[in-house]
Amino acid sequence: MNQKQSFSSAYGWFIQRITGILLAFFLIVHINVLHFGEKFFIDFNMVTQRLEGSFLWAIFYIIFIPVVLFHGLNGIWGLVEDYRPSQGAQKTVKVLLWILGIVGTFYGILAITPFL
Amino acid sequence: MVEFRIFRFDPEKNKEPEFKPYQFEPFKGMTILEGLYHILENMDSSLAFRSSCREAVCGSCAMHINGVYRLACKTQIQILKSPITIRPLSHLPIIKDLVVDLNPFFDRFREIKPYLIPKENPPEKEYLQSVEDREKIDDWLDCILCGACYGSCPVCAQDPKYLGPHALLKALRFVDDSRDGATRERVAFVTQNSGIFRCHTIFNCREVCPKDLDPTKAIAKLKWKSVFKKF
């Protein structure tokens, strides 16, 4: 038995569960407001009006963005692992997913900050 | 009258496997294994299959019977619909007909060191354990290593290095054992790339286990232990 194994996948698995639970809440609110709560046509003005009217909505999306990105990208990582890529390919995909996650989170939050 | 459709393949002689039909009159309560012996003794002596104890203890006769991995000795013909299709265990090289090479299965099993590694020098007489401590491993003890869980697991099909439900269940058996001194190493080992986190919680292993064990639950327990390190 190799005793020097990493525990990082354990935390990835655990955070995936936590973000999954959070997503159940976020998605119910998000889909309910956008697709059932508002009129049939959704445009940029309607979204900005809602965000301008409430500080809480901005906070809601600032939390929602990293949660959904982590859950989605970590899910992709799980799929990639199923195909047993080589060590090099694993490293490349991991770095790409991290970059995508960080850039996506930064860009998403940047779009929300004017409404704070 | 019952019909067995049996997977026949000899890698040294045949290019393709085939399903060969055998019809016979079963007696009341006849098991699949008894049916296979009936064919072997009266109809086709070239048929190959494994068996030993004939009472669901040794785990030798696990095979894929009418869509489910079962022990041939524990399954009565009368509960199944004829024709009864019999295949060998999946994800393992075929030696002949229903006999598979179990080496990959046992190689994974050996990797988790399926024996007690004592904390200190073992006592001279008995290794005492409280009733409460013994109860902690009750759920993980009865595995007969038949391979039904391994055959039913799609992750085992995809990743030959995946430790598999049988090895992970046994790993928890020692992790939960109060006398074992290698808990941290065991949990660290099953957390590796081809360990517990490759399990997709599909529950196939739990569905097919002839001893009603729950490897999915054991793997879930190991996952929590690997996160919180409570051992």
pLDDT in tens, B23-43: 999 999 999 999 999 999 999
CATH architecture of B103-228: Orthogonal Bundle (1.10)
Distance from CA of B58 to the nearest CA of A (A): 27
B223 and A10: CB-CB below 8 Å? yes
Looking at residue A84, what is its pLDDT? 85
3-state SS record for chain B:
CEEEEEEECCCCCCCCCEEEEEEECCCCCCEHHHHHHHHHHHCCCCCCCCCCCCCCCCCCCEEEECCEEEEHHHCEHHHCCCCEEEECCCCCCEEECCEECCHHHHHHHHHCCCCCCECCCCCCCCCCCCHHHHHHCHHHCCCCCCCHHHHHCHHHHHCCCCCHHHHHHHHHHHHCCCCECCHHHHHHHHCCCCCHHHCCCCCHHHHHCCCCCCHHHHHHHHHHHHHHCCC
Q: Which residues pair with B23 in a beta bridge?
A: B3
A14 and B227: CB-CB below 8 Å? yes
pLDDT range class, residue B61, cuts 50, 70, 90: very high
CA distance B128 to B125: 9
User: Has residue A38 got a pLDDT over 70?
Assistant: no
B197 and A10: CB-CB below 8 Å? yes
User: Which of B161, B193, B224 to mutate: most A Cβ within 10 Å?
Assistant: B193
User: Has residue A6 got a pLDDT over 60?
Assistant: no
What letter represents residue A17's amino acid?
A: R
What is the domain partition of chain B in residue ranges?
2-100, 103-228
Query: If you average pLDDT over residues A84-99, what whole number do you get?
Result: 93
Q: State which residue of chain B sits closest to A4, comparing Cα positions.
A: B188
Distance from CA of A82 to the nearest CA of B (A): 7
ipTM over 0.90: no
- Residue of B182, B200, B173 lying closest to A75 (CA atoms): B200
A1 and B227: CB-CB below 8 Å? no
A5 and B188: CB-CB below 8 Å? yes
Output phi, psi for B97, to 5 deg.
45, -110
User: Has residue B16 got a pLDDT over 90?
Assistant: yes
**B188 inside 8 A of chain A by CB:** yes
Same topology, domains B2-100 and B103-228? Answer is no
CA distance B4 to A2: 46
Global pTM value: 0.88
Secondary structure tally for chain A: helices H, strands E: 4, 0
Percent of chain B whose predicted confidence (pLDDT) is above 70? 99
User: Has residue A3 got a pLDDT over 90?
Assistant: no
For the stretch B196-222, pLDDT in tens is 999 999 999 999 999 999 999 999 999
DSSP A26-79: HHHHHHIIIIIIS-S---HHHHHHHHHH-HHHHHHHHHHHHHHHHHHHHHHHHH
Task: Say yes or no: domain B2-100 is CATH 3.40.190.10.
Answer: no
pLDDT range class, residue B231, cuts 50, 70, 90: low
A7 and B113: CB-CB below 8 Å? no
User: Has residue A22 got a pLDDT over 70?
Assistant: yes
CATH of range A13-115; options 2.60.40, 1.20.1300, 1.10.20, 1.10.3470? 1.20.1300
B158 and A84: CB-CB below 8 Å? yes
A10 and B192: CB-CB below 8 Å? no
Cα-based angle B145, B5, B37 (whole degrees, multiple of 5): 60
Looking at residue B128, what is its pLDDT? 86
Q: State which residue of chain B sits closest to A14, comparing Cα positions.
A: B227
Q: State which residue of chain A sits closest to B188, comparing Cα positions.
A: A5
Which residues contact residue B120 at a Cβ distance below 8 angstroms, ignoring those fewer than 6 apart?
A: B181
Looking at residue A1, what is its pLDDT? 56
User: Has residue A116 got a pLDDT over 80?
Assistant: no
What is the domain partition of chain A in residue ranges?
13-115
Q: Which residues of B touch A20 (CB under 8 A)?
A: none
What letter represents residue B1's amino acid?
A: M
B198 and A81: CB-CB below 8 Å? yes
**B180 inside 8 A of chain A by CB:** no
Cα-based angle A4, B177, B185 (whole degrees, multiple of 5): 5
A5, A11, A13 member nearest B189 (Cβ): A5
Distance from CA of A53 to the nearest CA of B (A): 41
User: Has residue B88 got a pLDDT over 80?
Assistant: yes
User: Has residue B155 got a pLDDT over 80?
Assistant: yes
Q: What is the largest CA-CA distance in chain A?
A: 60
Percent of chain A whose predicted confidence (pLDDT) is above 70? 90
**B170 inside 8 A of chain A by CB:** no
Q: Which residues pair with B6 in a beta bridge?
A: B20, B86
Which residues contact residue B218 at a Cβ distance below 8 angstroms, ignoring those fewer than 6 apart?
A: B139, B140, B165, B168, B169, B172
A4, A12, A82 member nearest B158 (Cβ): A82
Task: Look over chain B and give the mean of its residue pLDDT values, rounded to a whole number.
Answer: 94
Q: What is the DSSP letter of A5?
A: -
For the stretch B92-129, pLDDT in tens is 999 999 999 999 999 999 999 999 998 888 888 888 88
Percent of chain B whose predicted confidence (pLDDT) is above 90? 90
